[in-house]
Structure 1
Amino acid sequence: MKKILIANRGEIALRIIKTCKQMGIETIAIYSDADQELPYVKEATFSFRIGEAPVLKSYLKTDAILELAVKEKADAIHPGYGFLSENAAFAAAVREKGISFIGPSAEVLSIMGDKVKARQTMKEAGVSTIPGSEAGIDSLEEAFTLANEIGYPVMLKASGGGGGIGMHLCESEAELAKVFQSTKTRAKTYFGNEEVFIEKYVANARHVEIQIFGDSHGNAVHLFERDCSVQRRNQKVIEESPSPFISERTRQLMCEAAVQAAKHVKYENAGTLEFIVDENEKFYFLEMNTRLQVEHRVSEFITGLDFVKWQIIAADGKQLPLLQNDIQQNGHSVEFRLYAEDPVKFLPSPGKLNAFTYPDMPGVLIDLAYEPGNTVSPFYDPLVAKIIVHAETRELALSKALYFLEETSIEGIKTNLPLFINILKDQSFVRGNYTTSYLKDHTFIS
């Protein structure tokens, strides 16, 4: 591959550009009217305006993106994450143009992108799934019947959902009735699919995911786990690896299950199997993310590997660079998603980033979406940067992270930086005693 179009924006676009530069690959960036001054636009080999700020008029304009890729003779399209990354129709259209799609096949995207189909497929692969509906639910009466069979509380979910969108915890029939139709409507709006389903809610759970890679030669490997239990509104805020909760035996079983699932669907490229783990370390398949994850840097730190490079190699039809026994887990890594948001209400706080200063420290990496002088747009996810810290042990990684964050200064916008500092001072987190309800159960800032 000599030229790759990046169908994304912000920090992930810049992340991909950096690896492409190291590999001697030219990059094509696309930008909306809101993003023309962002760092990734300047760093790409070529940059083109794709449309107005709203995503439907820019980053989701599939015809315009494909037209540009053909015109500029791109060898491949990297979708990043979000936007078109798990869109089966887009992946198929890319390949119909004779261009490589850096991701799995359209068939796999279609199966694993639908949570009901994914559950069925994982059962076929012998992977444990949470008790729940075996098909989409059409009516509230059907939802009531199933919820009563499973037992409250339950989770109502959009079949085509992701990123915490279209998910509701229901502890009674009244709550289920209240959100049933609105969840279907929201699912239709965001994912073009109004189908919903129900799963048993696992209390005091951990959210642990396994990074996997596959290639077109039938190889599949895991690159260990990430604990993503610190969440707000079902969206991850802090991720770390190794998990401070699971035992070595559970880690081994989860990794084996993830590879088993990848081989069952003949998976190619980067992917993640997400699991819910209960208090007794029994784990259940939650969903599969058929793309690069926001938190992939955590796993890159502990393995010493470049996942974007691996993606490009796999998409080019080559075998994965390493076999399972060659992949080692070293040290501890933790990532903080720095958002432009009110740290109390968790609401977006767009505006101009006037200053962003931080210490230069070994073992600390920052993936920037914005730089001082840029405006954080209200049209997109308010992620300003990812801060990833690595050290020999978890204790050292958390100490290093606390020092770094306390020495970081941001002016012009509100961020969740104070939240991270307070979490790092909380003994429950320091001891690794946290679940997916951690932020809901604790008030760090008032």
Structure 2
Amino acid sequence: AIMGKAPFIELCIEAGIPIPESQVVRSADEAQTAAEEVGYPLMLKTSRGSAGDGVVRVGSPAELLCGFDSLSTRLPLVVQRYVAGQVGSSSCLFYRGRLVMAVSSYKLNAWPGPFGPSSCRRMLDDGRLDPILGRLGAAAGYHGFGSVDWIEEHATGRLYLTEFNPRPTPPLSSAYAVGVNLVRALRGMIEGRPVPQAQRRPSEFRRIVHMYPQDVSRCIDEGDLGGLLAWLPGAASHDILIAEPLICLSYLRRFARAAWAKMSARDGGQAGAGERPIKSQSVRLASPEVSPTPRPHAA
């Protein structure tokens, strides 16, 4: 029932789950009518897509027509009110529509691009989220792992759900940082017995977790040696077991190749075989703790 943004929006509207004002459209005329009701700026989204694919910010009727034309082969589309706020997500486990566990975090950095996967997250414990997530699971009758994207509006502090991914997503692997026992929860689900909510360590919330491979790729592409040092064992929190030697060797090898390509390009030579000049594409998203007036970000 929620395989895609369009059915997710329709389900939330029917169940009264908080989302930014949204409409599902299937033609340019419907998109224009929806835009007049939602107002500009707005977000135009394809029903299927991931890592920021098929998401366009629209600021005027002319941009709407251009955006619709570029996405017209991927109907239906979602016209959604633009929300200035802090983006986050909750990795969840549902048991036959019941919320078993949820691990939530703010998205601090994105790589590549403003709508790409997170490269750095801040763990969060917000008591308002679990009831909303529970209503979503019950309405969909969902069973298994899933990830819910949401945004906390700067002006009002309200939480709005924006998307559901019916699969485990990378932030799920950071659950250990706040003491959530995924193995126990998953085992209970497989055995078909009631599973209690996993215990958490309150002191670990607000911890910053670096995400692999996005943060490593960002450091490599931007030549951020200091950021790469955060990946040394014990230097920071990560979503993988950094002590794994094969993982360490793989990203060190990539860093060496990228550094050589950059030096070659700077000296007027050609990048190494199979390499292209590297451009920075990371985006740092404002955090409520980092700045008293965070930069607006789209839902």
- Give the TM-score normalised by structure 2: 0.72
Q: In structure 1, what is the Cα distance between the partners aligned to 2:7 and 2:254? A: 46
Q: Does residue 338 in structure 1 map to residue 211 in structure 2? A: no
Aligned length: 261
Cα distance, 1:220 vs. partner?
2.0
Write the mapping of 1:104-115 to structure 2, written as runs, cut at 5 A: 111-115=1-5
Asked if 1:158 is matched to 2:46, the reply is yes
Q: 1:201 to 1:358 in 2, by over 3 A?
A: closer
Tell me, in whole angstroms, the C-alpha distance in 2 between the residues paired with 1:435 and 1:221. 33
Confirm whether residue 139 of structure 1 aligns to residue 22 of structure 2: no
Identity %: 16
What is the deviation of 1:131?
0.7
* Contact 2:9–2:22 (8 Å) recurs in 1: no
Q: Superposition pairs for residues 140-219 of structure 1, below 5 Å?
A: 140-185=28-73, 187=74, 194-203=75-84, 205-216=85-96, 219=98
* Structure 2 equivalent of residue 106 of structure 1: none
Q: CA deviation at 1:119?
A: 1.3
> Are 2:177 and 1:294 aligned?
no
8 A contact 2:86–2:152 mirrored in 1: yes
2:114 matches 1:233: yes
The one-letter code matched in structure 1 to 2:107 is C
How far off its partner does 1:124 sit?
3.0
Displacement of 1:436: 5.9
2:19 matches 1:129 = yes
Q: Shift of residue 288 of structure 1?
A: 0.9
Change (3 A) 1:118 1:358: closer
* 2:197 is the alignment partner of 1:324: yes
Question: What SS class does the counterpart of residue 29 from structure 2 fall into?
Answer: helix
Q: State the partner residue of 1:410.
A: 255
| Deviations, residues 367-425 of structure 1 (Å, cap 9, x unaligned) | 68975886xxxxxxxxx69xxxxxxxxxxxxxxxxxxxxxx993112699x998x97xx
Greater RCO (CA < 8 Å, at least 6 residues apart): 2
2:165 is aligned with 1:285: no
- Judging changes above 3 Å, is the alpha-carbon distance between structure 1 residues 268 and 172 closer, same or farther for their aligned structure 2 residues? same
CA distance in 1: counterparts of 2:140 and 2:116, whole angstroms = 27
Say whether the 8 Å CA contact 1:131–1:150 is kept in structure 2.
yes
Are the equivalent residues in 2 in contact too, given 1:214–1:320 (CA < 8 A)?
no
Superimposed CA distance per residue, residues 315-353 of structure 1 (whole angstroms, 9 cap, x where no aligned partner): x343364x2374444412412323546746xxxxxxxxx
Indicate if the aligned counterparts of 1:212 and 1:259 stay in contact, CA closer than 8 A: no
The answer to whether the 8 A contact 1:224-1:329 is kept is no
Conserved 8 A contact 2:107-2:120: yes
Query: Residue type of the partner of 1:131?
Result: E
After superposing the two structures, state which structure 1 stretch, 270-279 or 361-370, moved more: 361-370
Distance 1:242 1:225 in 2: 6
Within the candidate set 248, 252, 256, 2:127 is matched to 252
- Match of 2:256, as an amino acid? E
What whole-Å deviation, never above 9, does each CA across 1:196-230 have from its counterpart, x for those lacking one?
12001112x111222321224x6423324111253
Partner residue in 2 for 1:221:
100
Contact 1:219 1:320 in 2 (8 A): no
2:290 is matched with 432
SS in 2 for 1:160: coil
Tell me if 1:116 matches 2:6.
yes
What is the distance in 1 between the residues matched to 2:43 and 2:247? 39
- Cα distance, 1:211–1:171 mapped onto 2, change above 3 Å: same
* CA 211–180 in structure 1, closer or farther in 2 if over 3 Å, else same: same
SS in 2 for 1:113: coil
Mapped partners of 1:436, 1:293: distance in 2: 24
User: Is residue 233 of structure 2 the alignment partner of residue 360 of structure 1?
Assistant: yes
Matched residue SS, 2:10: helix
The structure-2 alpha-carbon separation of the partners of 1:330 and 1:263, relative to structure 1 and needing over 3 Å to count, comes to farther
**Any gaps of 5 or more consecutive residues in structure 2?**
223-228, 263-277
Gaps of at least 5 residues in structure 1 are 1-110, 188-193, 345-355, 375-383, 386-407, 439-446
Report the counterpart of residue 140 of structure 2 in structure 1.
265
Q: How far is the alpha carbon of 1:165 from its aligned partner?
A: 0.6
Could you tell me how far 1:234 is from its partner in structure 2? 0.6
Q: 1:274 — aligned with what?
A: 149
2:215 is aligned with what amino acid?
L
Q: Distance in 1 between matches of 2:186 and 2:51?
A: 22
C-alpha distance in 1, partners of 2:68/2:158? 29
**For residue 91 of structure 2, what is the amino acid of its counterpart?**
Q
Assess if the C-alpha contact under 8 Å between 1:298 and 1:334 holds in 2. Answer: yes
Partner residue, 1:191: none
Contact 2:22–2:79 (Cα < 8 Å) also in 1: yes
Instruction: Give TM-score scaled by structure 1 length.
Output: 0.50
